[in-house]
Amino acid sequence: MFTKRLFCTLALALLAATGAQAETWPAKPVTLLVPFPPGGATDTIARAVGTKLQERLGQTFIVDNKAGATGTIGATLVKRSPADGHTFLVTSLGPLVIAPHLMKNVAYDAAKDFDYLTVLVQAPNVLVVPANSPHKTVADVVAALKANPDKVSFASSGNGSSDHLTAELFWLQTATSGLHIPYKGGAPAISDLLGGQVDASFQNVNAVLQHINAGKLKALAVTGDKRSPVLPGVPTLGEAGVKGADVYSWQAIVAPKGLSAEVRSKMQEALLAALNDPKIKQQFTAVGLEIVGNTPEQFVTFQAKENARWKQLIDTRKITAD
C-alpha cells in the first residue's frame, strides 16, 4: 500500500513538474542556431521569425550562426543540447536530407535525433543565365548541353547544395551532362554568374529575384510544380518540357530529441502565429518564399519523402561532398 502511494505521489510530482516547465518556458534566452553564415536565406528567416517569437513569448531569442561542414556542425551541436526548449535548429534541407548521404561519419541521425516542429517556408529554384547569354529558353540550354557535353558550366553554392542537386536532376532528366562549378556559398556563385564567368545556375528564387527584376539575369524556368507568384511570366520546368525535376528548397525548425509535448505545442503555436503575422508574410512572399507552417506529423512524413528522394539521386549520380 505504501509503495503504491509512493508511486502515485511521484507520478503526480512528475506531472506537476512537466506542467510547471511548460508554464515557465521559456525561462531563459532561447537560441535559434543557424548552421550557416550570417546573411543567407536561412539566417534571414531565423531572424525575422525570432523577432516575432520574442514578442509573443516575452523572452529573448538569439540567432547563433555555427557554420561549417555543409551545416552538419551546427546540427550536431543542437543534437547534443538539452531538450529543454532553449535550443532549436533553424536550417535548410541540407543537414536534414542531403548531407547525411554525402558525408562520412555525420554525428547524428536526422530521422531519430531531432523532434520536428514545422517547415517554415519553401521556394522553388530558378534556372538563370547572365543577361548577355545567348540562351533564351530551357530548350536552348538543353541543346547547348547536348552539343557540348560537360562544357556548359553551372554554378552552385557548394557540393551537395540544393542548387547543385537541382542541376544534377536536370541533367539526369534531360540525358545531358554539364560542368559543375561549386563555390563557397551562394553570394560568390551569383557574383560570377552576374559577371558572365559561368553559363547558368539553379538558384533559390529569393536569392536572385532582385537581379532578375533589374535585368541582370534572365530567368528561364522555375523548378516548382506551379509558377512562382513573383515570376508569373516564367514557365515551370514541366511546362518547358522537362518532367520529373520539380524541386523546392525549404527552411525548417527542429529541436533536440526529447522536447516535452507541452513545450512543443507552445512553440508550434508561437511559430504559426509568427508565420501568419502580416509583416512577416509580406516580407517573405515579396521575395518568393511560400509560407508552409505544417504540423510536426506532416513534417516527419515530408522529411522521410525528401530524404529518400535525395538519397536516390545522390546514389544514382554518384555525388560526393569532395
Whether 144 and 118 map to the same domain: the answer is no
The pLDDT tens digits of the residues spanning 43-102 come to 999 999 999 999 999 999 999 999 888 899 999 999 999 999 999 999 999 999 999 999
The pLDDT tens digits of the residues spanning 286-312 come to 999 999 999 999 999 999 999 999 999
User: Is residue 232 in some structural domain?
Assistant: no
Give the cell for residue 32.
Answer: 535559434
Whether 8 and 103 map to the same domain: the answer is yes
**Whole-angstrom Cα distance, residue 80 to residue 271?**
23
Whether 106 and 47 map to the same domain: the answer is yes
User: Is residue 212 in some structural domain?
Assistant: yes
Whether 260 and 217 map to the same domain: the answer is no
User: Is residue 322 in some structural domain?
Assistant: no
Whether 96 and 182 map to the same domain: the answer is no
Whether 21 and 95 map to the same domain: the answer is yes
User: Is residue 231 in some structural domain?
Assistant: no
User: Is residue 192 in some structural domain?
Assistant: yes
Q: How far is CA 253 from CA 181, 187, 193, in A?
A: 30, 24, 31
**Whole-angstrom Cα distance, residue 94 to residue 190?**
19
Whether 199 and 267 map to the same domain: the answer is no
Predicted local distance difference test score (pLDDT) of residue 191: 94
User: Is residue 233 in some structural domain?
Assistant: no
As a whole-number percent, the residues of the chain with pLDDT over 90 amount to 82
Computed over every residue of the chain, the mean pLDDT equals 92
Domain end residue (candidates: 185, 206, 222)? 222
Task: Say how many domains are in the chain.
Answer: 2
Whether 49 and 69 map to the same domain: the answer is yes
User: Is residue 240 in some structural domain?
Assistant: no
Whether 19 and 106 map to the same domain: the answer is yes
Domain end residue (candidates: 206, 222, 238)? 222
pLDDT higher at 8 or 244: 244
Domain end residue (candidates: 203, 222, 241)? 222
Whether 21 and 65 map to the same domain: the answer is yes
For residue 78, give the CATH number of its domain.
Answer: 3.40.190.150
User: Is residue 234 in some structural domain?
Assistant: no
Whether 133 and 99 map to the same domain: the answer is no
For residue 156, give the CATH number of its domain.
Answer: 3.40.190.10
Taking residues 161-187, report their average pLDDT: 92
Q: 140 is in which domain, residue-wise?
A: 124-222
